[in-house]
């Protein structure tokens, strides 16, 4: 449905005296109400079925936390890449070992801060704190605390004009609301999230709220990442998911032209239904992909354990090392010694045997302070994480 403009423009003046039109969105939910045509309803139902399968993925894994640990980090990499970072999943895993990779440090710090922001948001929600502007500001503060955006008002709504595309508001592709309107726009978004003026089903709420936050662009930096985090936090808060296993950044990255086009259609033409169709399909495909990945990981671990058990000597210590690397797919000898309780020579021999089986590989090329990677595990999780150029 094309409702027409879903807000209004106000004229702003920049410091140079140039004038531009800034867009102030109407409060959600859309008016007139969403047109739930059969095709859209079916897409939403498929998405919900896939989310149900995804929520049960923990039962497929002998240790669900190991999948969650790495999957969260994959999303951090993807979401940050959309904003222009060049870090890979391997870079982040190395960084968390205090082994600085050969990429700009700021990139890896930004990705690591995304993990911290998500973990903080989930901890607050599980402690009974509601999705709110205060929580979004807290998440934003974590996101920018140690990254290159740390000078751009972490944890605060902006107090100056920003814009998307172009070099200034006058030639920008889109100009969000003036900073003095941000508080009222975000207050309206918070009311919508809390089902005021009426209840909105959680999946639709996450889809609409994401667009609204992107439109308001309440922060000087990090809006895209906060907007993507909001989807996951909302679904967890609404108990659609028990764990943060749904991440749409890969789908948004692969279809970014269509993604931006639909955001603009929702603003300019009020075509929320096309956006919801895209969003539901993204949820369906992403959830199904995560379930498939969990199954592939389970088969990989089982196959590799069987190969290790077939060793004539040292199978027991090699299995202990492999088990640790299922939980943390990059490790140093020192870390493996601490986690397994084995001696340094025993860990070293176990790694040699795992390398002979082509399960692990040394990734630094150094003779000291070597780092070992569970090669196929990382390759599986890294699919789709090639940095944007």
Q: What is the DSSP letter of 331?
A: E
pLDDT at 313: 86
pLDDT grade for 136, boundaries at 50, 70 and 90? very high
CATH of 7-292, one of 1.10.3290.10, 3.30.1540.10, 3.90.1580.10, 3.40.190.170: 1.10.3290.10
Higher pLDDT, 267 or 327: 267
SS3 label, residue 244 = coil
Find out whether 380 and 300 touch, Cβ atoms under 8 Å: yes
Higher pLDDT, 385 or 366: 366
Question: Among residues 157, 159, 172, which one has the least CA distance to residue 222?
Answer: 157
* The pair of three-digit structure tokens given for residue 380, joined into one six-digit string: 């599986």
pLDDT at 327: 84
Task: Tell me the whole-structure pTM to 2 decimals.
Answer: 0.89
Class of domain 311-381: mainly alpha
Q: What is the mean pLDDT of residues 267-277?
A: 97
pLDDT grade for 100, boundaries at 50, 70 and 90? very low
C-alpha span between 345 and 98 (Å, rounded): 23
Structural domain spans, the chain: 7-292, 311-381
* The pair of three-digit structure tokens given for residue 89, joined into one six-digit string: 């999943």
* The pair of three-digit structure tokens given for residue 370, joined into one six-digit string: 């070597």
Q: What does the pLDDT look like over 347-359, one tens digit per residue?
A: 999 999 999 999 9
Find out whether 54 and 241 touch, Cβ atoms under 8 Å: yes
| Selection from 96-100, 323-327, 382-386 with the highest mean pLDDT | 323-327
Q: What is the mean pLDDT of the chain?
A: 89
SS3 label, residue 25 = strand
pLDDT at 385: 65
Question: DSSP string spanning 346-371?
Answer: HHHHHHHHHHHTTSEEE-S--SSS-E
Q: What does the pLDDT look like over 205-218, one tens digit per residue?
A: 999 999 999 999 99
For the chain, give percent helix, strand, coil, nearest 5.
60, 5, 35
pLDDT at 104: 52
């Amino acid at each position: 449905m094309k409702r027409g403009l879903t807000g209004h423009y106000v004229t702003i003046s920049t410091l140079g005296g140039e004038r531009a039109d800034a867009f102030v969105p109407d409060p959600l939910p859309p008016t007139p109400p969403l047109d739930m045509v059969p095709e859209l309803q079916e897409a939403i139902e498929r998405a919900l079925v896939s989310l149900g399968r995804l929520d049960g993925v923990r039962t497929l894994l002998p240790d669900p936390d190991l999948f969650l640990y790495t999957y969260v980090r994959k999303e951090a990499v993807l979401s940050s890449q959309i904003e222009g970072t060049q870090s890979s999943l391997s870079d982040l895993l190395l960084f968390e070992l205090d082994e600085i990779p050969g990429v700009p440090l700021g990139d890896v710090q930004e990705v690591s801060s995304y993990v911290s922001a998500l973990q903080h948001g989930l901890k607050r929600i599980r402690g009974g704190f509601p999705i709110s502007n205060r929580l979004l500001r807290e998440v934003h503060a974590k996101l920018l605390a140690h990254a290159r955006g740390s000078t751009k008002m972490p944890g605060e709504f902006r107090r100056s004009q920003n814009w998307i595309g172009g070099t200034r508001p006058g030639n920008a592709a889109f100009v969000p609301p003036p900073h003095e309107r941000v508080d009222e726009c975000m207050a309206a978004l918070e009311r919508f999230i809390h089902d005021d003026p009426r209840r909105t089903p959680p999946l639709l709420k996450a889809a609409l709220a994401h667009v609204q936050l992107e439109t308001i662009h309440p922060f000087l930096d990090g809006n895209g990442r906060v907007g993507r985090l909001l989807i996951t936090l909302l679904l967890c808060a609404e108990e659609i998911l028990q764990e943060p296993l749904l991440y749409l950044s890969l789908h948004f990255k692969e279809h970014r032209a269509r993604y931006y086009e639909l955001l603009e259609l929702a603003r300019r033409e009020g075509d929320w239904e096309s956006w919801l169709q895209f969003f539901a399909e993204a949820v369906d495909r992403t959830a199904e992909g995560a379930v498939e990945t969990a199954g592939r990981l389970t088969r990989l671990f089982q196959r590799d354990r069987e190969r290790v058990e077939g060793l004539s000597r040292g199978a027991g210590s090699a299995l202990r090392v492999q088990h640790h690397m299922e939980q943390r797919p990059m490790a140093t000898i020192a870390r493996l010694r601490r986690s397994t309780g084995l001696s340094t020579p025993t860990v070293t021999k176990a790694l040699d045997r795992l390398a002979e089986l082509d399960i692990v590989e040394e990734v630094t090329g150094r003779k000291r302070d070597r780092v070992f990677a569970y090669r196929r595990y990382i390759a599986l999780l890294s699919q789709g994480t090639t940095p944007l150029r």
